[in-house]
């Protein structure tokens, strides 16, 4: 459970509210709780006074914005007390600068005649004493979290120059006893919902580029079969169920085809297949195991794991066919290649001193950086802005999710009490 002793009164209030909400949410699934275990060396100090008239909403916005930004590890919150600053008034920027805030976000909640609300907000740079931008969003009363994530994305992008990821979703598998659930949650762990419940394992979820569908491997037929699952409707389609094993689905960037691993012709080998299950064709041939394909963001290459050279290493091959090139050379176990959204780096799992760790390879300089020091890390997955890497780890003998920034500084742990969590996949940015 939560230790409240060292929490500020503000955070205590937030936790109390969270607890009440959790108690109300009878149908809700077990909650992913997020623990920040490391932050950036220099965090940007920002003041976020409570939004004016926020109490008109059934549930607040300001605390969700604050939590998003604080959890990113890139920002520190400057406490300026419980006073609301209306969005319509330029605050005393020099005054907030002297209190340590380099930026300040002001906001107001305005009720509309149709029962909805307009949330207006402005961001100021206290050093340059300029407004960085303003927006207004209209929301139904219960859309407080979605609205707050949009506001946090706005602040993040204005202050870091990169898109935020607070409005994204994550997929992961929860195992509790004999029950497996493929769950979808907001990036902050809220709103967890089961997309699939099964008595058999589910592995390797992969988001379609449009964020509407998941490909995954389910063992419900007592063998691995690849499915595509449309989240809104729950409609499922078998994409690959050939004789033998079918696994490791990876979407092409245009969403039209998947790379999969099939054993229909012998060893585990790479194939391409259309997203409707038609047109299967082999894309690489080796005398060993080829698995864990992932497309480069430009759609030109498939990175994959192969033991053709004796030990499992990462290779890449042109999607159009051709000769495989070896990518990793250090160590005897390098698996699960996952290219960053900008295509410049590759996250993967490397075995070092008997432990499996998350590493990042700079594809131009060939420099490898090991990001974690845990024993059993698996399944790295980049945030859509490339800043964070979500992965599966272990804590206290249970599977947990963890996230580490691409520079290794920011660390978080996401866990569910009394359940194993594994196989995370970070979804794409929502289309706007």
Q: How near is the Cβ of 57 to another protein at its closest, in Å?
A: 12
Among 5, 41, 83, 232, binds another protein (CB under 8 A): 232
Cβ proximity to another protein: between 246 and 296 the closer is 246
- Which residue matches tokens 């864990």? 292
Q: How near is the Cβ of 204 to another protein at its closest, in Å?
A: 6
Cβ proximity to another protein: between 29 and 409 the closer is 29
Among 36, 132, 280, 363, binds another protein (CB under 8 A): 36
Residues 161-200 that bind another protein (CB under 8 A): 167, 169, 184, 186, 188-200
Q: How near is the Cβ of 95 to another protein at its closest, in Å?
A: 25
Q: How near is the Cβ of 229 to another protein at its closest, in Å?
A: 7
Residue count (the chain): 432
Cβ proximity to another protein: between 52 and 97 the closer is 52
Selected range binding another protein among 11-19, 77-85, 97-105, 381-389, rule: CB under 8 A: 11-19
Told to check if 79 binds another protein by CB under 8 A, we report no
Size of interface with another protein, in residues (CB under 8 A): 106
Here the tokens at position 424 are 């995370």
Cβ proximity to another protein: between 97 and 401 the closer is 401
Selected range binding another protein among 27-35, 42-50, 95-103, 278-286, rule: CB under 8 A: 27-35
Q: How near is the Cβ of 333 to another protein at its closest, in Å?
A: 7
Q: How near is the Cβ of 17 to another protein at its closest, in Å?
A: 8
Residues 118-137 that bind another protein (CB under 8 A): 118, 120, 134-137
Residues 312-371 that bind another protein (CB under 8 A): 312, 333, 335-336, 349, 351, 356
Q: How near is the Cβ of 356 to another protein at its closest, in Å?
A: 7
Selected range binding another protein among 42-50, 63-71, 89-97, 100-108, rule: CB under 8 A: 63-71
Q: How near is the Cβ of 231 to another protein at its closest, in Å?
A: 5
User: Distance of CA 293 to CAs 35, 306, 315, 333, 334, Å?
Assistant: 31, 10, 10, 16, 13
Q: 10 Å Cβ neighbour count for 285? A: 14
Cβ proximity to another protein: between 45 and 189 the closer is 189
Q: How near is the Cβ of 97 to another protein at its closest, in Å?
A: 26
Among 234, 310, 364, 418, binds another protein (CB under 8 A): 234
Cβ proximity to another protein: between 14 and 97 the closer is 14
Told to check if 209 binds another protein by CB under 8 A, we report no
Told to check if 10 binds another protein by CB under 8 A, we report no
Q: Which helix (H) or strand (E) holds 260?
A: strand 257-262
Residues 372-391 that bind another protein (CB under 8 A): 378-379
Cβ proximity to another protein: between 127 and 332 the closer is 332
Pairing of strands 75-77, 103-111: unpaired
Selected range binding another protein among 24-32, 45-53, 97-105, 271-279, rule: CB under 8 A: 24-32
Say which residues have a Cβ less than 8 Å from residue 53's Cβ, sequence separation at least 6.
84, 108, 109, 110, 111
Give the x/- contact pattern for another protein in 275-304, rule: CB under 8 A. --------------x-xx------------
CB 376 within 8 A of CB 394: yes
Q: How near is the Cβ of 105 to another protein at its closest, in Å?
A: 16
Closest CA to 396 of 415, 410, 379: 415
HEC string for the chain: CCCCCCCCHHHHHHHHHHHHHHHHCCCCCCCCEEEEEECCCCCEEEECCCCECHHHCCCCCHHHHHHHHHHCCCEEECCCCCCCCCCCCCCCHHHHHHCCCCEEEEEEEEECCCCCEEEEEEEEECCCCEEEEEEEEEECHHHHHHHHHHHHHHHHHHHHCCCCCCCCEEEEEEEECCEEEEEEEECCCCCCEEEEEECCCEEEEEECCCCCEEEEEECCCCCCEEEEEECCCCCEEEEECCCCCEEEEEECCCCCEEEEEECCCCCCEEEEEECCCCCCEECCCCCCCEEEEEECCCCCEEEEEECCCCCCEEEEEECCCCCCEECCCCCCCEEEEEECCCCCEEEEEEEECCEEEEEEEECCCCCEEECCCCCECEEEEECCCCCEEEEEEEECCEEEEEEEECCCCCEEEEECCCCEEEEEEECCCCCC
Told to check if 241 binds another protein by CB under 8 A, we report no
């Amino acid at each position: 459970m939560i230790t409240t002793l060292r929490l500020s009164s503000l955070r205590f209030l937030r936790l109390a509210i969270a607890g009440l909400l959790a108690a109300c949410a009878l149908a809700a699934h077990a909650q992913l709780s997020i623990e920040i275990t490391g932050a950036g060396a220099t965090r940007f100090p920002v003041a976020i006074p409570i939004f004016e008239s926020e109490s008109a909403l059934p549930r607040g916005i300001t605390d969700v914005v604050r939590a998003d930004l604080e959890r990113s590890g890139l920002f520190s919150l400057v406490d300026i007390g419980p006073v609301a600053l209306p969005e319509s008034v330029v605050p005393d920027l020099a005054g907030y600068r002297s209190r340590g805030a380099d930026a300040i976000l002001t906001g107001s909640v305005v009720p509309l005649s149709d029962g909805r609300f307009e949330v207006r907000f402005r961001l100021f740079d206290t050093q340059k004493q300029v407004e960085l931008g303003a927006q207004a969003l209209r929301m139904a009363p219960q859309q407080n979290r979605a609205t707050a994530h949009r506001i946090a994305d706005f602040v993040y992008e204005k202050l870091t120059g990169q898109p935020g990821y607070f409005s994204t979703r994550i997929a992961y598998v929860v195992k509790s006893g004999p029950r497996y659930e493929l769950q979808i949650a907001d990036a902050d762990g809220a709103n967890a919902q089961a997309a699939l419940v099964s008595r058999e394992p589910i592995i390797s979820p992969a988001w379609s580029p449009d964020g509407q569908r998941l490909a995954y491997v389910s063992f419900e037929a007592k063998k691995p079969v690849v499915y595509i699952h449309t989240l809104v409707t729950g409609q499922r389609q078998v994409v690959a169920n050939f004789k033998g094993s079918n696994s490791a689905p990876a979407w092409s960037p245009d969403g039209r085809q998947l790379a999969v691993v099939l054993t229909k012709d012998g060893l585990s080998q790479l194939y391409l297949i259309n997203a409707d299950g038609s047109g299967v064709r082999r894309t690489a041939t080796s005398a060993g195991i080829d698995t864990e394909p992932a497309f480069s963001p430009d759609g030109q290459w498939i990175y994959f794991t192969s033991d053709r050279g004796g030990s499992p290493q990462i290779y890449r091959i042109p999607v159009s066919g051709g000769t495989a090139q070896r990518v990793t050379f250090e160590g005897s176990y390098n698996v699960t290649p996952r290219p960053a959204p900008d295509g410049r780096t590759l996250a993967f799992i490397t075995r070092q001193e008997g432990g499996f760790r998350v590493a990042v390879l700079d594809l131009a300089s060939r420099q490898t950086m090991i990001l974690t020091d845990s024993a059993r890390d698996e399944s790295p997955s980049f945030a859509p802005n490339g800043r964070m890497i979500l992965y599966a780890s272990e804590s206290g003998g249970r599977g947990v999710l963890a996230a580490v920034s691409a520079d290794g500084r920011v660390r978080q742990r996401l866990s569910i009490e009394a359940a194993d969590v594994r196989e995370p996949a970070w979804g794409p940015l929502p289309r706007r």
